[in-house]
Amino acid sequence: MELNLQGKAAMITGGGQGVGRRLCLEFAAEGVTVLVNDLFAERAERVVNEIRALGGQAVPMVCDITDYDALSSAFSQALQAAGLSHVDILVNNAGVTPERRAKGGIPPAFLDMPLADWRKVVDLNVYGVMYCCRLVLPGMQAAGAGKIVSIMSEAGRIGEAGLAVYSGAKAAILGFSKAIAREHGRDRINVNVIALGAVSHEGIANGALHPDATPANDERLKKMLRAYPIARGLERLSRPEDVAGAVLYLASDRAAYVTGQSLGVSGGFAMI
Ligand SMILES: NC(=O)c1ccc[n+]([C@@H]2O[C@H](COP(=O)([O-])OP(=O)(O)OC[C@H]3O[C@@H](n4cnc5c(N)ncnc54)[C@H](O)[C@@H]3O)[C@@H](O)[C@H]2O)c1
């Protein structure tokens, strides 16, 4: 399927590892200039270098997306560095706080979660997404076209024990995206959401989501796989490349008539 993304520009948040990194690489391979956002400069720069080594175009956009002033100035600088006036595509991918990612394991129940941690999760998934949309929408509006794809979690569509605040914050992305899709349909801006289940990737240091975990060497993974109908057959959790196909499709004009939708890329974990 020809996606016709050549010559477009995309900003991808949390592009320094995992799902975001893979999205950056796959967009760049389609001829898209990528603004690789990450909180950590070394991660963003590593992905930019990977893209350039493969002949693609990318610039780092290092900032905390929960800080609107820092985000706004990093966005302007990245546009200037890439010689762009606006981006055609925004992928809101950053969604796990670095503290949570570093801690790993099973998250605490709602009543055991410190209030300060709630704020970080809500800031990243609610304000971070809204801030990024606020920044890119005027340029898309002026261009008369745009695609916004946000990564949520099945936790936001069906709720997940141990992930109460995260579930609520991810659900907010869905309501917000539907409203934005309604407001900006007239500008030919498509706004959609992808809901993920557990994704294994290189940025996860240990446990069931580590890429080297298998049902044979990890009991928790063996149990987790039962929750994903397709994982029972594939004998693995999802990987960033499973997500990329759906995001690239929604960011292309092959999905011109798809807006305000949430698509589960979660092995059948939730069928809604
Ligand atoms: N991995 C999973 O199992 C899983 C499951 C369901 C949903 N998701 C969702 O998929 C998306 C990607 O997940 P992942 O596991 O690849 O992420 P990750 O934890 O590997 O993080 C990706 C990047 O986001 C960056 N980041 C974090 N906070 C940031 C901030 N404030 N500003 C800028 N960058 C920031 C990190 O530095 C990191 O490099 C997230 O929205 C997550 O909620 C992931």
How many domains does the chain divide into?
A: 2
Rounded to whole angstroms, the Cα distance separating 36 from 38 reads: 7
**Position 141 in a domain:** yes
pLDDT > 90? residue 264: yes
- 232 and 247 share one domain: no
**Position 4 in a domain:** no
- The alpha carbon dihedral of 65, 69, 75, 77 has a sign of negative
- 78 and 189 share one domain: yes
Averaged pLDDT of the chain? 97
199 lines ligand 1 (CB under 6 A): yes
* Ligand 1 atom at minimal distance to the Cα of residue 14: 24
Percent of the chain predicted with pLDDT > 70: 100
**Position 270 in a domain:** no
CA-closest residue to ligand 1 atom 37: 39
- 156 and 63 share one domain: yes
- 166 and 224 share one domain: no
- 195 and 219 share one domain: no
CA-closest residue to ligand 1 atom 15: 18
Q: Please give the single-letter amino acid code of residue 56.
A: G
- 181 and 256 share one domain: yes
**Position 30 in a domain:** yes
- Report pLDDT for 215: 93
- 229 and 137 share one domain: no
Joined tokens for residue 35: 């603004």
Nearest to 34 by CA among 248, 250, 255, 259: 248
DSSP for 140-151 reads HHHHT-EEEEEE
| Average pLDDT estimate for 18-25 | 98
- Considering the candidates 127, 131, 166, 228, report the single residue annotated as catalytic: 166
- CA-derived radius of gyration, the chain: 18
The Å distance, Cα 47 to ligand 1 centre, comes to 15
- 181 and 60 share one domain: yes
151 lines ligand 1 (CB under 6 A): yes
Task: Tell me the residue range of the domain where 53 lies.
Answer: 9-199+238-265
124 lines ligand 1 (CB under 6 A): yes
18 lines ligand 1 (CB under 6 A): yes
The Å distance, Cα 95 to ligand 1 centre, comes to 4
- 27 and 88 share one domain: yes
CA-closest residue to ligand 1 atom 43: 95
CA-closest residue to ligand 1 atom 39: 16
| Catalytic residue list contains 68 | no
| Average pLDDT estimate for 43-47 | 98
- 233 and 245 share one domain: no
- 173 and 70 share one domain: yes
- Report pLDDT for 106: 84
**Position 215 in a domain:** yes
| Average pLDDT estimate for 176-194 | 98
- 128 and 98 share one domain: yes
- Give pLDDT tens digits for 105-129: 889 999 999 999 999 999 999 999 9
pLDDT > 90? residue 104: no
60 lines ligand 1 (CB under 6 A): no
